[in-house]
Amino acid sequence: MKLIKELKEITQLPGISGYEEKIREKLIEIIEPFADYKVDKIGNLIVELGEGKERLLFMAHMDEIGLLITGITNDGKLKFRKIGGIDDRLLLGRHVDVITEGGKLDGVIGAEAVHLNLERKFDTLPWHKLAIDIGAESKEEALTLGVKPLDYAVFKKHFAVLNNKYVATRSLDDRFGAVALVEAIKDLVDHDLNGKVIFAFTVQEEIGLKGAKFLANSYNPEYAVAIDSFACCSFLTGDVKLGEGAVIRAIDNSAIYTRSLAKNVWKIAEKNEIPIQIGVTGGGTDASVFQDKSQVLALSVPIRYLHSETEMLHIEDLKALIKLIEALAFELE
């Protein structure tokens, strides 16, 4: 399936906040045959379709959570700090890819053997007490392998298709959003649109919506819509379920989104027979920074196990989201 192939291609690329170059290059490679693009000073990739009034802005962020290398110990281990919201429980005993200017190194965040844990205490160690082992026995040897401070690491990525309908992998947040915008651009590029529709692939979302804030200096759309993850599923998120359609993310920690816009989007989805859900979740999205100038909303697919190595979505939800984005480009007045 084309969507699964694209998801695999995009999710496997490393790129933490501030280091989105590889993702941006791949997206440009995909988009260039279909549409013109530009890259702004902070690194956002932007495609504009249609002419006239800035009617609608869609945003999906390119960056993922990961680890920034901050130093090398005398025995060759790599110290790091977390970039983005990573649960410390997910660090211990993990394989990672260390991304250097010259390529990629295998690394592990090791765990002490249970055989040596005489006190039988299994509390999670805080991130600042952990280190990445790349097999170097000294700082000098680590440097000869090409790693240095301000390089970065991401969890080793495994891509799985479960039961022919679910995709599970690291960095679906928010590479599924990037794929959704790419597919919409391909489908809309040769159509007449009522006003200008802007598609922005933003940077540094995971550390405070930095790319979107920069974008807000240049654009004043009537509607600003983030395409981002919906952490699912618990009593906190309402009745949202994987496999039941796209999601209107009505409320999160960054915004109470424009209620009239949410109702309008719901009507457009129903009119076009697009499966749609509505719910609340945590976190924040790029759309929230446009609240002082635009009607804002976040659209999503439900993601199980968000911000882990096993983020999971239902492929039919992604199909519904793409259809909804395209319908909004034509029908949102």
- The Cα angle at residue 148 between residues 74 and 201, in degrees rounded to 5: 145
For residue 102, how many other CB atoms are within 10 A of its CB? Answer: 10
For residue 201, how many other CB atoms are within 10 A of its CB? Answer: 30
258: left (phi over 0), alpha (psi -120 to 50) or beta: beta
User: Whole-angstrom Cα distance, residue 106 to residue 156?
Assistant: 9
Residue 172: half-sphere exposure toward Cβ, Cα within 13 Å: 30
For residue 17, how many other CB atoms are within 10 A of its CB? Answer: 23
* Helix, strand, coil abundance in the chain, percent, nearest 5: 30, 30, 40
Could you give the 3-state DSSP secondary structure of residue 78? strand
Q: Which residue, among 333, 325, 159, has the nearest Cα to 247 in the 3D structure?
A: 325
**Is there a catalytic annotation at residue 48?**
no
Q: Which residue, among 283, 93, 315, 309, has the nearest Cα to 183 in the 3D structure?
A: 315
User: Whole-angstrom Cα distance, residue 199 to residue 57?
Assistant: 6
Point out the catalytic residue in the list 6, 54, 64, 205.
205
Could you give the 3-state DSSP secondary structure of residue 288? helix
Active-site residue list? 205
